[in-house]
Amino acid sequence: MSGLKRRDFLRKATVTGLGLPLLSLFRPVVARSRGRFQPDHPVVISSGNGEQAVKKAMELLQGGSDPLDAVIAGVNLVEDDPNDITVGYGGIPNEEGVVQLDASVMHGPTHNAGAVAALENIRNPSKVARLVMERTDHVLLVGEGALKFAKAHGFREENLLTERARKIWLYWKETLNDRDDWLPPPPKEIEGDVRRLVETHGTIHCCAMDSRGDLAGVTTTSGLFFKIPGRVGDSPIIGAGLYVDNAVGAAGSTGRGEANLKNLSSFMVVEYMRRGLSPTEACLEVCKRIAEHTKLPRLLDESGRPRFNVKFYAINKKGEFGAGAIYQEGHFWVYDRQGPRKLPIPGLYKRRMHRK
């Protein structure tokens, strides 16, 4: 492993609460074939909201599907789900109450990619991203151009703002400040989860390796809650929110997109795997890099740590998988020969003092 001392990394990992027993959780069963390791079973991983996605993707992989078909079909279930307010239909809107979606796809065997950003009125941006990859000579279409492209391919426009998402947005707008003319809502109109959800952001990432060892990934999101119209996060940017190198591995991210845009983080996870780090080690090493690069005082807490969280998910060419976050929070989903299961995400730090 050039440039990075594995022993040092593991010593630091143990100090931060990430012991060797946790790392060894993510070693899969692999078969030796003609002198090199090859997966003997497909592997799918996804973010904490990816239970349906990994199950659907595995069903398709077991039937012989291409890994990109499998992961897109998996995340489509979450894009269609109005109860997931961070992705697709039912996603939290921008500051004007308009849902704008970002997504990217990347296919390992062809090293091809497609993406859309700030796409309105189409619930499955990952399907449109795939068409950008397959039916244009481009990688990224945005805004009105992306919508026209989707309509040209027969996508139906619809209002993606559900009543639940509208109420969360309205609560945010009415409580934003006390110097405008919007008055706070009467307490009885604040439904149980509205106040809590105002401070959250999410996304779904899903990547897979089929039993031939081919990789693919997808990341799709409604982006930062109440964002400035036109804001684009990391999810549709190849290398930031998603990256696949069929010779090395696949990685993707959820969390504060701006940190990944400034560090090209998913690309970096794959590059660390190329240098010999396990998927978990690679994810945590990138978290460390983001923490080191976070210098703006408004983004730091009293102890000099980031005020935000970013999470990574990765699979390497051996079919090993892992995840890592700046702060140890939440879970991710994996489905391999041992079946579907939810595992804790190791963190560079145990807990954060602030949310953003």
Which residues carry out catalysis? 203
Q: Please identify, using beta-carbon distances, which residue of 225 and 333 lies nearer to ligand GLY.
A: 225
Give me the least distance between CB of 56 and ligand GLY, in Å please.
22
How many other CB atoms sit within 10 Å of the CB of residue 163? 9
Give me the least distance between CB of 220 and ligand GLY, in Å please.
10
Under a CB-based contact definition with an 8 Å cutoff, are residues 46 and 53 in contact? yes
Under a CB-based contact definition with an 8 Å cutoff, are residues 325 and 348 in contact? yes
Half-sphere exposure of 81 (CA within 13 A, CB side): 19
Give me the least distance between CB of 137 and ligand GLY, in Å please.
26
Q: Please identify, using beta-carbon distances, which residue of 312 and 335 lies nearer to ligand GLY.
A: 312
What contacts 177, CB < 8 A, 6 or more positions away?
none
Q: Please identify, using beta-carbon distances, which residue of 58 and 242 lies nearer to ligand GLY.
A: 242
* Residue 33: strand, helix, or coil: strand
Give me the least distance between CB of 115 and ligand GLY, in Å please.
13
Q: Please identify, using beta-carbon distances, which residue of 13 and 325 lies nearer to ligand GLY.
A: 325
Q: What are phi and psi of 15, to 5 degrees?
A: -60, -35
Per CB under 6 A, residues contacting ligand GLY are: 203, 221, 223-224, 233-235, 241, 254-257
Distance CA 36, CA 29 (A): 14
Q: Please identify, using beta-carbon distances, which residue of 76 and 221 lies nearer to ligand GLY.
A: 221
Of the candidates 333, 349, 260, the one whose C-alpha atom is nearest the C-alpha of residue 52 is: 333
Give me the least distance between CB of 234 and ligand GLY, in Å please.
5
Q: What are phi and psi of 202, to 5 degrees?
A: -155, -170
Q: Which amino acid is at 55?
A: K
What contacts 125, CB < 8 A, 6 or more positions away?
79, 88, 101, 102, 103, 116, 119, 220
E-strand ranges in the chain read 30-33, 36-39, 43-46, 101-107, 112-119, 140-142, 204-209, 215-221, 242-245, 249-255, 310-316, 321-327, 331-336, 339-344, 347-349
Give me the least distance between CB of 256 and ligand GLY, in Å please.
6
How many other CB atoms sit within 10 Å of the CB of residue 320? 22
* Residue 114: strand, helix, or coil: strand
